[in-house]
Amino acid sequence: DSGVTQTPKHLITATGQRVTLRCSPRSGDLSVYWYQQSLDQGLQFLIHYYNGEERAKGNILERFSAQQFPDLHSELNLSSLELGDSALYFCASSPPSRREGATQYFGPGTRLLVL
């Protein structure tokens, strides 16, 4: 158990819909990262938040948005869903950075299926 929790575990929805994925980081971790894992693209970085502020963006679509709240939990919002958005979505958290890069602790993921 990494200490990172994600809800829900599974989500089935239809094209065009909007969903919200939730992540609670490990106690004391200020950074939250979101990653998408699909069969054809592998694990891809989406976005990084540090203490409520966006720090870096990766290959995140404009239909997707995220935020980190004052209690440090984070939500990833996916809208106008398409079949291709079906994937595993992982959240990770890390303690303050070190020179060598802080270890990231991953949650169990949310499996999204868009029908």
Partner 1 sequence: DAKTTQPNSMESNEEEPVHLPCNHSTISGTDYIHWYRQLPSQGPEYVIHGLTSNVNNRMASLAIAEDRKSSTLILHRATLRDAAVYYCILRDSPIIQGAQKLVFGQGTRLTINP
Q: Residues in the site for partner 1, rule: CB under 8 A?
A: 2, 4, 31, 33, 35, 42-45, 48, 55-56, 58, 90, 92, 94, 97-109
The least CB distance from residue 16 to partner 1, in Å, is 28
Radius of gyration of the chain (CA): 13
Q: Which is nearer to partner 1, 61 or 79 (CB)?
A: 61
Burial group, residue 100, by CB count within 10 angstroms (0-12, 13-18, 19+): exposed
The least CB distance from residue 84 to partner 1, in Å, is 19
The least CB distance from residue 96 to partner 1, in Å, is 10
Give me the residues paired with residue 87 across strands: 112
Q: Which is nearer to partner 1, 18 or 55 (CB)?
A: 55
- Alpha-carbon gap, residue 4 to 108, rounded angstroms: 8
Q: Which is nearer to partner 1, 45 or 79 (CB)?
A: 45
Q: Which is nearer to partner 1, 62 or 100 (CB)?
A: 100
Strand 74-78 with 105-106, pairing: unpaired
Nearest CA among 106, 92, 72, 111 for reference residue 1 = 106
